[in-house]
Chains A and B, each alone.
Chain A
Amino acid sequence: MSYLVATVKQIESCDNLHIVAFDYQAQTLRMMSLDLHEDIKIGVKVKLAIKPSHIALAKDFSGELSYSNQLQATIVSITNGELLSAIKLDCEGSILESIITLSSSQRMDLRVGEGIVALVKASELSIDEVLNV
């Protein structure tokens, strides 16, 4: 799992469906969720979790993407296997891991130290724990 500590800044609701917006180092993240824990309120700090296989990467991209979460990051390491590639990113001090296919990694010609955008769908971002209430 990759983790980010962020602050709840907005909650939109429709019945028991919610879109929660978080502030992470001046970047906005959005999460789709069903019933929310009662502790989750505006101003509360939470630890967000993302599964490495749910993080996509974009390089030199222009155009619109539906991804609600587009985080600026820098590649800190690339571990290539036979089929897959595990790429660690530094995103404003937190380390994220993205697992993509080796062919994508090679096609994008990813290099350590490069700037990259990490993409996460709102439905794939989750709250791991509430840090302060």
Chain B
Amino acid sequence: MIKIEINKKLHGANGGMDLSVRLDILQGDFVALTGQSGSGKTTLLRILAGLESSSGTISVEGEVWQDSKTSLIPQKRKIGFVFQDYALFDNMSVEQNLLYVQKDRALAYKLLELTQLNQLKDRMPSTLSGGQKQRVSLCRAMMNRPQLLLMDEPLSALDPTMRTKLQHEILALHKEFGTTTIMVSHDPSEIYRLAQRVVVLHGGKIINDGTPKDILLKTSGSAKFSFEGELLDIVKVDVIHLAIIAIGQQLVEVVVSDDEAKTLEIGQSVSVSTKAFTPRLKGL
């Protein structure tokens, strides 16, 4: 069990904010941490890693990492950290990057094999693609057999295909080593695939905590197919109205009645939903 109870005053873009988090995580759990930018996700990871100070306590499997008297330095915490921008040593080969953490060739070999990097072990990071670099940094983070693996949007710089591939490798590593993991992510499909639990931070506080399905299926009542968008226009056609809504990169049209059109305002955020029985699904 990892027990976290920390407080820290932050000075963000939107003025001061209290990061105040109480969180218990079971050993071996894979937790996704999500929330708007500026909600305190990265700061929380940095506090857990010992890279930032805070008040409060952190204990991991009974060992105190931080309390009112002590705070272990990052090197003493059994942590693996994967950053969005890889943070590899450019002057070392792939294998040397791993062995720098721990002179454990057997483990390095196993990790490189699990992530299909063994062919590339002598290459320098500058010759690798983004996906390959991130796999190396994932392996490196596992080299000291961490009790807690922290990942800060590890896949957000990668293209969708590479992202899916790495998700499978992260899952494979998690299965093999059972490392308790906290991953910051904004991608619902990624969270659904990898995590058993989602914690949503907002303004420094946990506002939601549950299974990916419960948290990510944005539903009210019995609507199962629900998206948020911006209402761009309402056009009257015959006795009905067409609402034009931007959802992500796409525009959609929804038929609304006269009375509904009167209650809507151009520019407002809207949810577009229907029951699970209505949408058609076709392979592309």
A residues with a Cβ closer than 8 A to B are 1, 31-37, 46, 49, 51-53, 79-86, 97, 99, 123-124, 126-130
Contacts and interface: CB of A to CB of B under 8 A. Distances in A.
Contact of B277 (A32, A52, A53, A84): A32
Contact of B257 (A31, A52, A130): A52
A127 B239 contact: no
B147 to A, nearest CB: 35
Interface of B: 219-224, 238-240, 255, 257-260, 275-278
Q: Does more than half of chain A's interface fall in helix, strand or loop, or is it mixed?
A: strand
Contacts of A37: 219, 221-222
Given A79-B258, A81-B240, A82-B238, 5 more contacts: A32-B277, A34-B276, A36-B222, A86-B240, A99-B257
Contacts of A31: 222
Q: Does more than half of chain B's interface fall in helix, strand or loop, or is it mixed?
A: loop
10 contacts: A37-B221, A51-B255, A79-B239, A81-B240, A82-B238, A84-B238, A97-B259, A123-B275, A123-B278, A126-B275
Contacts of B220: 128-129
B212 to A, nearest CB: 14
B260 A1 contact: yes
Contacts of A123: 275, 277-278
A86 B260 contact: no
A53 B255 CA distance: 9
Contacts of B239: 79-81, 84-86, 99
Chain A CB count within 10 A is highest, among B220, B222, B276, B278, for B222
Contacts of A51: 255
Contacts of B257: 1, 52, 86, 97, 99
B238 A81 contact: yes
A46 B221 CA distance: 9
Contact of B221 (A79, A86, A126): A126
Contacts of A86: 239-240, 257-258
A80 B219 CA distance: 35
Given A84-B239, A99-B239, A129 B259 contact: no
B221 A127 contact: yes
Contacts of B238: 81-84
Nearest to A20: B222
Contacts of A128: 220-221
Nearest to B260: A1
A2 B259 CA distance: 10
Contacts of B259: 97
B222 A126 contact: yes
